[in-house]
């Protein structure tokens, strides 16, 4: 099975930087994804890591360490619209297919 | 480009009633998934399909059945609804891609189901 842990809730101030951590235990690791989900909406893709290191995409960056089973999502220059739930998802190979498993999500509240 | 479309978007059922949720994707994706999302529980996998005519159980399959008769459609059935099945249901599709490739999941808008 898989175990994915991330904080339940975080708060930050507009304009600041926030880091959301995700730890995982899995066999057949084949990639880690971050998704953003606004209340009442579907999750949308933010970033993808399969090799160790940092991937940067505008105000969002994601880091992966496979040996430590650890990833983080870094959000810079926070805006009010960044208030949302952030889902860490691990893709694992199972019997020739790929199964994405999601963490419980981190609810980020951005204050003025 | 519709992406992934779920119908219906909202539904209220009485205990014991049956219903089918439809997921349709127009991206020619091989893999399709049904998740349920409950407060504090995240997205939990119900059933999934790796291709037309194939289905498999996920983490929480009890009380649900699925069918993938056509590549673009993935149906989720509730034969006898129970209040514990009150949830938001999301369908997702993924391209098979090559190993290690970025194959993000595309989600439908969700179905909000209440069983009374």
Mean pLDDT, 10 residues at a time, over chain B (116 residues)?
91 97 95 94 93 94 97 97 98 78 87 98
Are B100 and A30 a contacting pair at CB < 8 A? yes
Set of chain B residues whose Cβ sits within 8 Å of the Cβ of A44: 107
pLDDT band of A30, cuts 50, 70, 90 = confident
**Chain B: nearest CA to A43, how far in angstroms?**
7
Closest B-chain CA to A95:
B50
What pLDDT does B41 receive? 84
Q: Give me the count of residues in chain B.
A: 116
Q: What angle do CA B89, B90, B96 make, to 5 degrees?
A: 145
Residues near B100 by beta carbon (within 8 Å), at least 6 away in sequence = A30, A31, A50
What pLDDT does B100 receive? 59
Decide if pLDDT at A44 tops 90.
yes
Q: Which of these, B113, B107, B93, B87, lies nearest to B9 by C-alpha position?
A: B113
Residue A50 DSSP class: S
A45, A50, A101: residue with CB nearest B104: A45
> Exposed/middle/buried for B99, CB within 10 Å: 0-12, 13-18, 19+?
exposed
Tens of pLDDT, residues A58-92? 999 999 999 999 999 999 999 999 999 999 999 98
> Exposed/middle/buried for B51, CB within 10 Å: 0-12, 13-18, 19+?
middle
Q: Which of these, B107, B92, B6, B85, lies nearest to B38 by C-alpha position?
A: B85
Are A44 and B107 a contacting pair at CB < 8 A? yes
What pLDDT does B99 receive? 60
Backbone φ and ψ for B81, nearest 5 degrees, come out as -65, 145
Decide if pLDDT at A97 tops 80.
no
Residue A39 DSSP class: T
Q: Please give the distance of CA B81 from its chain centroid, rounded to a whole number.
A: 16
Set of chain B residues whose Cβ sits within 8 Å of the Cβ of A33: 104-105
Q: What is the mean pLDDT of chain A?
A: 94
């Amino acid at each position: 099975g898989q175990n994915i842990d991330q904080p339940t809730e975080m708060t930050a101030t507009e304009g600041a930087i926030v880091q959301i951590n995700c730890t995982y235990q899995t066999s057949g690791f084949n990639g880690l994804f971050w998704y953003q989900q606004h209340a009442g909406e579907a999750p949308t893709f933010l970033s993808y890591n399969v090799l160790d290191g940092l991937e940067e995409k505008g105000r969002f960056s994601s880091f992966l360490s496979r040996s430590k089973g650890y990833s983080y999502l870094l959000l810079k220059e926070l805006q009010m619209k960044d208030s949302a739930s952030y889902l860490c998802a691990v893709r694992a190979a199972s019997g020739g297919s790929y199964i994405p498993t999601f963490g419980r999500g981190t609810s980020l509240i951005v204050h003025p | 480009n519709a992406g992934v479309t779920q119908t219906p978007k909202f539904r209220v059922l009485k205990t014991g009633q049956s219903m089918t949720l439809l997921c349709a994707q127009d991206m020619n994706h091989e893999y399709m998934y049904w998740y349920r999302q409950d407060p504090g529980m995240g997205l939990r996998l119900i059933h999934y399909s790796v291709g037309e005519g194939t289905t498999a159980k996920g983490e929480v399959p009890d009380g649900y059945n699925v069918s993938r008769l056509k590549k673009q459609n993935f149906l989720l059935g509730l034969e006898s609804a129970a209040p514990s099945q009150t949830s938001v249901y999301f369908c997702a599709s993924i391209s098979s891609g090559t190993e290690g490739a970025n194959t993000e999941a595309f989600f439908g808008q969700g179905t909000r189901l209440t069983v009374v």
